[in-house]
Amino acid sequence: MKFNITHRARNCRAKAGEITTLHGNICTPVFMPVGTQATVKAVSPEDLYEIGASIILGNTYHLYLRPGHKIVERLGGLHRFMNWGRSILTDSGGFQVYSLSKLRTVSEKGVVFQSHIDGSKHFIGPEEAMDIQSSLGADIIMAFDHVVPHPSDYEDVLKSVELTTSWADRSLNRKRGENQSLFGIVQGGMFKDLREMSAKQLVNLGFDGYALGGLSVGEDKETRERVIRETIPFLPEDKPVYLMGVGKPEDIVEAVFQGVDMFDCVMPTRNARNGSLFTQSGTINIKNAAYADDEKPIDEKCDCYTCTNYSRAYLRHLYMAKEILSYRLNTIHNLAYYCRLMTDLRNAILKGELVAFRSDFYEQRKFDCDGRS
């Protein structure tokens, strides 16, 4: 993986760049649609190509449990398995072990956990996480990390940082695919000194990129933004920074200002399936009766497949009738919105207009389309 910064903003840490992997170029800042189980829910790879997605995310924990990483490897790796010709990043599974496992036992070696599918017992440590991701064949893989809930006391978070650093070192020393780049994940909860400690320890080990983990776990917006702002100065300026699991459009805008390059979140796809659709003016809830005979597209400024071909009235009908097509059309639009947001942020950086873009972004979203402030 190569990361080339093409432009830096003058008045903040924002930057525009390009990541190059074996499967193509990724313009940053970038949003990665979440394809946890080797599919982005409700849409095809062809849909993702059309909306401009250059990289998607898969998950080690889920693919290890089902269908099994060795099956994926025998069938040619994740790209071939899911018919996706562009880049893939896989999360190490640390967050899923923390959040989905009913029972888990953490030790220096790794984590013994119970499958959320059938209750069977499994073990994943840093070496196993690397082996699984090597079999999957993703372009960018993540070091195994230890996540603690929020809130947690200082001593528990300190232990998490120590374990994450130890596991990161072991992840680095495990053999991986020749063309795979490895990111370390910064932990430290909401504590400034522990975030600094974690970042410095990981930078000392030396990774291809760095992720901010342990966020979007229940903390408030102000705390999350503070942690991002306080942590990024300790990360190398010439390596990509990835904010895991965040988030809302406004969260992305603020994080780009702080220097974040990569994002993922289930919000655009999950919201789409629940009828919540993003527009430049805010969000609309397509099930509202006001849209029953509305001939307009979701967003008149959007040129995605859904907005080009279908009315709000039709989309409301599909949603209320519980038609499967509702999921696909809504998801196409929401992902197109996110991809366009990233393009607009990048262009604003390149033109030196990021501050004006940010102001316009909030001005347009003063009220959402259903009249809520």
Residue 293, domain member (yes or no): yes
Q: Cα 294–296–297 angle (5° rounding)?
A: 120
Q: Assess whether 303 carries a catalytic annotation.
A: no
Residue 143 structure tokens: 């070091």
Same domain (yes/no): 127, 248: yes
Residues 46, 106 contacting (CB under 8 angstroms): no
Residue 78, domain member (yes or no): yes
Question: From the candidates 91, 131, 145, 251, which is the catalytic residue?
Answer: 91
So what's the pLDDT on residue 367?
60
Using the predicted structure, report yes or no on whether residue 210 has a pLDDT greater than 80.
Answer: yes
Same domain (yes/no): 252, 353: no
* Percentage of residues in the chain having pLDDT higher than 90: 93
Same domain (yes/no): 43, 150: yes
Residue 134, domain member (yes or no): yes
Same domain (yes/no): 110, 252: yes
What whole-number distance in Å separates Cα of residue 104 and Cα of residue 100? 10
Residue 107: exposed, middle, or buried by beta-carbon count in 10 A (0-12, 13-18, 19+)? exposed
| Number of compact structural domains in the chain | 2
**pTM score, two decimals?**
0.97
What lies within 8 Å, CB to CB, of 80 at 6+ separation is: none
Cross-strand bridge partners of residue 90: 58, 141
Which of the listed residues 228, 250, 265 is the one where a domain comes to its end?
A: 265
Same domain (yes/no): 66, 163: yes
In this predicted model, what pLDDT tens digit does every residue of 213-242 receive, in sequence order?
999 999 999 999 999 999 999 999 999 999
Residues 329, 308 contacting (CB under 8 angstroms): no
Cross-strand bridge partners of residue 37: none
3-state DSSP assignment of residue 128? helix
Same domain (yes/no): 244, 277: no
Indicate the pLDDT class of residue 102, thresholds 50, 70 and 90: confident
Residue 372, domain member (yes or no): no
Q: Assess whether 131 carries a catalytic annotation.
A: no
Indicate the pLDDT class of residue 373, thresholds 50, 70 and 90: very low
State the average pLDDT over residues 136-161: 96
In this predicted model, what pLDDT tens digit does every residue of 114-128 receive, in sequence order?
999 999 999 999 999
Residue 76, domain member (yes or no): yes
Q: Which helix (H) or strand (E) holds 233?
A: none
Which of the listed residues 230, 265, 300 is the one where a domain comes to its end?
A: 265
Say how many C-beta atoms besides its own lie within 10 A of residue 339's C-beta.
20
Considering the chain, what is the average pLDDT of its residues?
96
Same domain (yes/no): 246, 188: yes
Same domain (yes/no): 258, 277: no
What lies within 8 Å, CB to CB, of 14 at 6+ separation is: 8, 29, 256, 257, 258, 259, 345, 349, 354
Domain boundaries, position 201 = 2-265
Residue 309, domain member (yes or no): yes
DSSP assigned state of 290:
G
Amino acid occupying residue 193 = D
Same domain (yes/no): 317, 179: no
Task: Please report the sign of the dihedral spanned by the C-alpha atoms of residue 261, residue 361, residue 56, residue 201.
Answer: positive
Which of the listed residues 234, 265, 296 is the one where a domain comes to its end?
A: 265
- Tokens 């459009």 identify what position? 249
Residue 147 structure tokens: 């996540």
In this predicted model, what pLDDT tens digit does every residue of 300-353 receive, in sequence order?
999 999 999 999 999 999 999 999 999 999 999 999 999 999 999 999 999 999
Residue 371, domain member (yes or no): no
151: preceding bond cis by omega (within 30 degrees): yes
Residue 220, domain member (yes or no): yes
Same domain (yes/no): 30, 107: yes
CATH number for 202: 3.20.20.105
Residue 352 Cα distances to 255, 355, 358, angstroms: 17, 8, 12
Residue 130 Cα distances to 65, 74, 161, 237, 306, angstroms: 15, 17, 19, 26, 39
Same domain (yes/no): 256, 305: no
Same domain (yes/no): 83, 204: yes
